[in-house]
Amino acid sequence: MRAVTTGKIFNVILAIVMVAGLVSMVAGCGRDESASGEPGSYSIHDPLVRFKIATTTSLYDSGLWYYLEPLFEEYANVEMDIIYAGTGIALEYGRRGDVDVVIVHDKAAEDKFIDEGYGINRRNFAYNFFLIAGPENDPAGIKGCTAVEAFTKIYEAGMNAPGSIRFVSRGDLSGTHSKEKIIWSNAGFDYATDIQDSGDWYVEAGKGMGPTLLMANEMNAYVLADISTYLSYTQMNPLDITLLVEQDSIFLNVYAAIAINPESDPGTNIDITNIFINWLISEEVQNVLATYGLAEYGRSLFNPIGRGQEDGSADLPGFPPVEAYTEPVPSYTPVNSIIERYTSS
């Protein structure tokens, strides 16, 4: 037996200190506490209650959530984590129960999500319109057309005169991509067989709205975009492509908030979610939406859902019925689970 040398003891102590330091470092990877009130800083409201929302990229990129986040945190006294993703991924987060609420803009996908039992309490709270932007000289001649006519012309130009025009698609299962597919379908095309891989003219970017706009700009191509991203992006980076087609009923873009069904994900914060959804359709937020971006861009980026009655949008096909944005969501009682518990025991 050899006595443990001092060198060995030192090494052990060193190892312990290192591990301890490491653990504290990792554990310290939490939220920084800093004083609230100044721009760019955040306060912890209740770190135990972490309210997570997954929002569509167009709302996030417009900066709307930067504005709304502190308001709701103050209102509900919770800590809000906002994750942005295209509608497809946002709904996937919802299915897996990684968030408490999803904010999306794809009616068909939303319906499926709710039908499958993942979502409840959908409320529409805002809307705006898509648009088609493209080269200023408009080689396909779509200016003044309807969306369906414009898409048909773009297709014909792309197929008949290869290299004359291009169309850049999001190609990422986002709400914008869904809308594009609907327009192709309305124009009488089968998206998978007629459009995808039909030629060099059709480019699938697989990117968010901003990079897709940038790509279309570089390629001098046509692109379908939502008005809010288009306006905020062009404000920051002057683009060569210009707005060619808007004002079409098919361009209607309605944003919805859907609570994650507690039956599907028992860990969800359904009470806060309900407060949140009701808050979104409250007068306070609706008034914010009415003016958001007005000063900066000369027009508001989003319309409060109630404005549909005034500007006639409510008559457009696809506009949600009144109760889908006026009726507050009821507080949650886990009826099914109570019944199940009684019947099974």
Q: Which 190-249 residues touch another protein, going by CB under 8 A?
A: 207-211, 213-214, 232-233, 236-237
Q: Is 48 in the site for another protein (CB under 8 A)?
A: no
Q: Is 32 in the site for another protein (CB under 8 A)?
A: yes
Q: Six-digit token pair at 341?
A: 């518990």
| Short-list 54, 115, 42, 80, CA closest to 275 | 80
Q: Please name the residue that has the structure tokens 């409840």.
A: 120
What are phi and psi for residue 191, nearest 5 degrees? -55, -50
User: How many angstroms separate the Cα of 286 from the Cα of each of 84, 258, 307?
Assistant: 21, 17, 9
Q: Six-digit token pair at 314?
A: 């409510």
CB of 73 to another protein, least distance (A): 11
User: How many angstroms separate the Cα of 100 from the Cα of each of 49, 79, 278?
Assistant: 11, 13, 14
Please answer whether residues 235 and 228 qualify as being in contact, where contact means their C-beta atoms are separated by less than 8 angstroms. Answer: no
Instruction: Count CB atoms within 10 A of the CB of residue 200.
Output: 9
In whole angstroms, give the CA distance from residue 228 to residue 59: 8
Of residues 61 and 106, the one with the C-beta less far from another protein: 61
CB of 86 to another protein, least distance (A): 11
Q: Which 115-134 residues touch another protein, going by CB under 8 A?
A: none
- Please identify which residue in 13, 16, 20, 34 interacts with another protein, judged by CB under 8 A: 34
User: How many angstroms separate the Cα of 34 from the Cα of each of 96, 110, 135, 150?
Assistant: 32, 38, 47, 51
Of residues 26 and 335, the one with the C-beta less far from another protein: 26
Q: Is 170 in the site for another protein (CB under 8 A)?
A: no
Q: Is 83 in the site for another protein (CB under 8 A)?
A: yes
- Please identify which residue in 45, 51, 56, 57 interacts with another protein, judged by CB under 8 A: 57
Of residues 58 and 124, the one with the C-beta less far from another protein: 58
CB of 72 to another protein, least distance (A): 14
Helix (H) or strand (E) holding 289: helix 283-291
- Please identify which residue in 81, 149, 194, 204 interacts with another protein, judged by CB under 8 A: 81
In whole angstroms, give the CA distance from residue 97 to residue 265: 5
CB of 85 to another protein, least distance (A): 8
What 3-state DSSP class applies to 126?
A: strand
- Please identify which residue in 29, 48, 295, 335 interacts with another protein, judged by CB under 8 A: 29
CB of 300 to another protein, least distance (A): 18
User: How many angstroms separate the Cα of 72 from the Cα of each of 139, 172, 280?
Assistant: 47, 30, 9
Identify residue 83 by its one-letter amino acid code: I
Span between the terminal Cα atoms of the chain, in Å: 64
- Please identify which residue in 20, 41, 198, 334 interacts with another protein, judged by CB under 8 A: 41
Of residues 208 and 306, the one with the C-beta less far from another protein: 208
- Please identify which residue in 30, 298, 317, 330 interacts with another protein, judged by CB under 8 A: 30
Q: Is 28 in the site for another protein (CB under 8 A)?
A: yes
Q: Is 66 in the site for another protein (CB under 8 A)?
A: yes
Exposure of 118 in the CB half-sphere (CA atoms within 13 A): 21
Q: What angle do CA 188, 151, 177 make, to 5 degrees?
A: 90
Q: Which 90-119 residues touch another protein, going by CB under 8 A?
A: 95-98
Q: Is 290 in the site for another protein (CB under 8 A)?
A: no
Q: Is 7 in the site for another protein (CB under 8 A)?
A: yes
In whole angstroms, give the CA distance from residue 318 to residue 182: 12
Of residues 150 and 209, the one with the C-beta less far from another protein: 209
* Contacting residues toward another protein, per CB under 8 A: 2-3, 5-7, 19, 22, 25-26, 28-32, 34, 38, 40-42, 52, 57, 61, 63, 66, 69, 81-84, 95-98, 207-211, 213-214, 232-233, 236-237, 265, 267
